[in-house]
Structure 1
Amino acid sequence: MSLGVQVAKADEMDKWFRDFKQTASPTQLYAFLWALPKGGDLHNHLSGAGYSEWWYDIATDQTRNGGYQYYTKVKINQCLGYGANEYGAGRQLLLFKTIQASTYRGLTRCQQQEYKKMEALSEDEKQGFLNSIRLDKDYEGRNEFFEAHWSRLNELPANPHVIAYILLKNMQAFGNEGLQYLETQVGVRGKLKADGSRYTPEEALAILTTMLDSEEAQATGVTVKFQYTVLRFAPSAEDDLRWVYGFIDRHRDSYVGINFAGREDNDKGYPLRFLPVLRELRNQYPAIPLAIHAGEVDEPNRHVRDTLLLGAQRIGHGLNTITDPDTLLLMRHGPYLIEINLISNHLLEYTEDYSNHPFGEYLRTDIPVALSTDDRGMWDSTMTDEYYIAVNEFNLSWQELISLGENSLKHSFLPETDKQQALATYRQRLAEFTRAIINNHTDMATDMPAKRQFICRYQPDLCHQG
């Protein structure tokens, strides 16, 4: 197709989309965005990306979870002798903490009576478990998320067979809504066998890569690469980073980058803590890309600038970059990208309202941005939900909309040849979609209950419009 024809098609689609937004019902807009080809999800925590139902399904299916039996806590007995030996102070009072059979066998009789086999839960108990690992109440926010959700999952993510299943389910779900690339954060240290002993990191990684090579995974059409995450405020974070560098260097076919995660309001994880060790490691290893959480905090600070000084190519969240004019200027026109997580930032109370989010300012001052899902299982959301909010709240033009997918692939950590192929595939899919829209040949039907569930939650006043 000649450049002139491409420009004409782009202009025609821009007008079509402008008119469509003015007349479409909520479900029509959602259906369009569901069908829209999407690039990549660059900010995805795999252990936070599993829907509650997926966790329950794999926990109770020993034919797929490696033969593990799981128990979850359904009552509090106030047993004598509770303390730091069981998961740390205070965590003994948390319902729906999940453990595997090898751990259960090590509990006292009193403690065992607090737990139930996952498959033996009553309907009310099962619903309680499902609700316990997603933010489904107005009064729940970041403390519930950071302090309780992960503690409840507990030993489920320590099983690499379980994580491989969560990975497959994500690939299938993302493939259904048109995503072509997933760059997810997943670790392989400390994984537990059914008897409580540990897998080597290589054994755990092999279980994940076997899943990626399976027919089920290949059928999704989604390409997956991994990032390794370092918990930024851990006392051992520097040594952890040294280990991660060496591991990724040995497994560059699977791992493409490193991330630092953890609450930024814990000052022990301040960015410049890691500058000396990163300089040490860059003298020892070929370059490993960095995509680091920064600016996911309430107060103005210079964490984003300091994170760029660490060598980060991408900033996760970047909310408070808006408070640092010098860094804003530095980020205009690239080469750095901000990974935008609209739903996460709202549910964790970093933005009071979507209209307060700086996404529009970044987008329209030429700071590269892409939408991502963060811990989507705990929000019970999809990439299409992120797109729907972006279009609805920020009145995106067609060119702005498709730039999000383009940016996600341009700023991915794929090897250059693979990146160019991914971009070519995305542009081809988008061209076919655009032609079908203009020629009125696109079937945008999607699962109506799923669409209505999100629209009614996000726009209850418009729910009746269909």
Structure 2
Amino acid sequence: MLRVLSALVGVIGFGYAGLLSASGMDEWFRTFKAEATPKQMYAFLAKLLKGADLHNHLTGAGFSEWWYDIATDTERNGGYHYYTKVSVQQCGGYGTDEFGGNRQLLLFRTIQDSTYQTLDECQRSEYKALERLTEQEKQGFLNSIRLDKAHEGRNEFFETHWNRLNELPENPHASAYILLKNMQAFGREGLQYLETQIKIRGNLKPDGSLYSPEDALEVYRDVLASDEAKATGVTAKFQFMVLRFAPDAEDSLRWMYEFADQHRDLFAGINMAGREDNDKGYPLRFLSTLRELRHQYPAVPLAFHAGEVDEPNQHVRDTLLLGAQRIGHGVNTITDPDTLLLMRHGPYLIEINLISNLLLEYIDSYSQHPFGEYLRLDIPVALSTDDRGMWDSTMTDEYYVAVKEFNLSWRELTSLARNSLQHSFLPPDEKKAALDFYAERLAKFTAETLAHGFPDQDTDLEKRSFICKYQAALCSKE
């Protein structure tokens, strides 16, 4: 079948390939799925054009090695020096973080030099400059901000990872570097658009004083304007993230709404995030605040983490009442039939995070994930990576899991990328241009695949990565 299709398109030429692309690629991909080795399938999906990543926490999207590299590169990181905790000496005198949690015993909690200088001699003895770590200590630092052990789950992730990074993401030069690394990696995977959640308030200068939000944003602007960023072929825009269970979440939302309205060229929208099992962040808490803001400002697009919880509830429905256009995760939407019906064929998209949902134990296996049900009920869905640096995963990994676990057809596979662009928070003219560009790229990819097939390629993967643990055959030398 593969040879017949390839020969046929070869005879009639690429100009006619578009007429064959729908049925032709359906048949081609059906046969390819049946015949391809795991490595061949992964290599194909790595080259597949994927549209956008709409659910991306920039801090969590940085691989451990990227954080270490920028933290120890004073020329590129703005002149910062960093220390990380490598021992516990029970020095005492420790304060608490902003939510009351004492972090005295947390190894690999990272601070910048201005903070280090405020510690007493005993406290300083617990810390070591990042560039002076032994190989064992460095490996400990790298492993401390990724879920790399079987016993680690959501508590390790929510309660320690962010507190270990601590002051590193508060350096806008470091975070902008993580943005660039993501753009470069996504460009190699065939993505063309990224909406990522960034922190623009509370950024620290090397001396410990605060950046103004405008000055911090200028650091990101400079990176986006660089030749390195332009060479990726990826367009990036930002979302503000409101930590929904924080005591001052309403005030943060008001500030972010105003700032996003003033910087619509870079800020695509606002994302309400945070552990959904913390009841202080329940969706309807923000109803009156959002109604107040919609009275004052032109519409700012809204995404909301909802349905990322074990219990059945109606948080997704309540989120739609708030005005959300996209639902992050939506795992438990399937337990709310009325909302499920409301979302069929509707304007709302569910941002699907397969790997995240498994590693954080919202599902025990992919057989429990409702992604296939949503997709085949015509609820708009798109794959996204969430905190991929902490999973050691890629967008290709998400696509590979989706194909393997849910037997996607070619039409379903390409609908994911199309949905991601259609439901992006890009302005209408930019969205149309992005969709047209995707259609052109996909037509070329389809025609070339039908004409020539897909050549065998080696897959170069880190053996510690998520995908190697998911399917060992991808990382074997045989």
TM-score (norm 2): 0.94
SS in structure 1 of the partner of residue 271 of structure 2: strand
What is the RMSD computed on CA atoms of the aligned residues?
1.9
The 8 Å contact of residues 35 and 444 in structure 1, kept in 2 or not, is answered as no
| 1:440 positional shift | 1.1
Give the stretch that moved more between structures: 240-249 or 452-461: 452-461
In structure 2, the CA distance between the partners of 1:249 and 1:126, relative to structure 1 (3 Å rule), is same
Alignment of 1:382-461 (within 5 A): 382-440=394-452, 445=457, 447-450=459-462, 454-460=466-472
The equivalent residue for 1:188 is 200
| 1:460 positional shift | 3.1
- Cα distance in 2 between the residues matched to 1:432 and 1:4: 12
The equivalent residue for 1:339 is 351
Residues 311-361 of structure 1, C-alpha deviations (whole Å, 9 max, x = no match): 000000000000000000000012100000000000000010011100000
The equivalent residue for 1:48 is 60
Alignment of 1:87-166 (within 5 A): 88-166=100-178
Residues 47-73 of structure 1, C-alpha deviations (whole Å, 9 max, x = no match): 000000000000000000000000000
Overall identity of the aligned pairs, in %: 70
- Cα distance in 2 between the residues matched to 1:356 and 1:21: 23
- Cα distance in 2 between the residues matched to 1:48 and 1:407: 24
Long gaps (5+) in structure 2: 1-12
SS in structure 2 of the partner of residue 185 of structure 1: strand
- Cα distance in 2 between the residues matched to 1:465 and 1:331: 45
The equivalent residue for 1:293 is 305
SS in structure 2 of the partner of residue 283 of structure 1: helix
Alignment of 1:357-376 (within 5 A): 357-376=369-388
In structure 2, the CA distance between the partners of 1:16 and 1:161, relative to structure 1 (3 Å rule), is same
The equivalent residue for 1:172 is 184
2:274 is the alignment partner of 1:253: no
SS in structure 2 of the partner of residue 448 of structure 1: coil
The equivalent residue for 2:8 is none
SS in structure 1 of the partner of residue 142 of structure 2: helix
SS in structure 1 of the partner of residue 148 of structure 2: coil
Name which of 11, 33, 38 aligns with 1:26: 38
Q: Which amino acid aligns with 1:306?
A: D
Name which of 274, 280, 285 aligns with 1:262: 274
The 8 Å contact of residues 108 and 144 in structure 2, kept in 1 or not, is answered as yes
In structure 2, the CA distance between the partners of 1:36 and 1:450, relative to structure 1 (3 Å rule), is farther
In structure 2, the CA distance between the partners of 1:333 and 1:15, relative to structure 1 (3 Å rule), is same
SS in structure 1 of the partner of residue 270 of structure 2: strand
Q: Which amino acid aligns with 1:43?
A: H
| 1:464 positional shift | 4.9
2:67 is the alignment partner of 1:39: no
Residues 196-250 of structure 1, C-alpha deviations (whole Å, 9 max, x = no match): 0000000000000110000000000000010001010111111111101110111
In structure 2, the CA distance between the partners of 1:3 and 1:307, relative to structure 1 (3 Å rule), is farther
| 1:456 positional shift | 3.1
| 1:85 positional shift | 7.5
The equivalent residue for 1:274 is 286
| 1:442 positional shift | 5.1
The equivalent residue for 1:207 is 219
- Cα distance in 1 between the residues matched to 2:320 and 2:445: 37
Number of equivalenced pairs: 466
The equivalent residue for 2:250 is 238
The 8 Å contact of residues 98 and 153 in structure 1, kept in 2 or not, is answered as yes
- Cα distance in 2 between the residues matched to 1:462 and 1:30: 8
- Cα distance in 1 between the residues matched to 2:151 and 2:399: 25
| 1:462 positional shift | 7.1
Q: Which amino acid aligns with 1:210?
A: D
| 1:182 positional shift | 0.2
The equivalent residue for 1:326 is 338
Long gaps (5+) in structure 1: none
Name which of 294, 298, 313 aligns with 2:325: 313
The 8 Å contact of residues 370 and 405 in structure 1, kept in 2 or not, is answered as yes
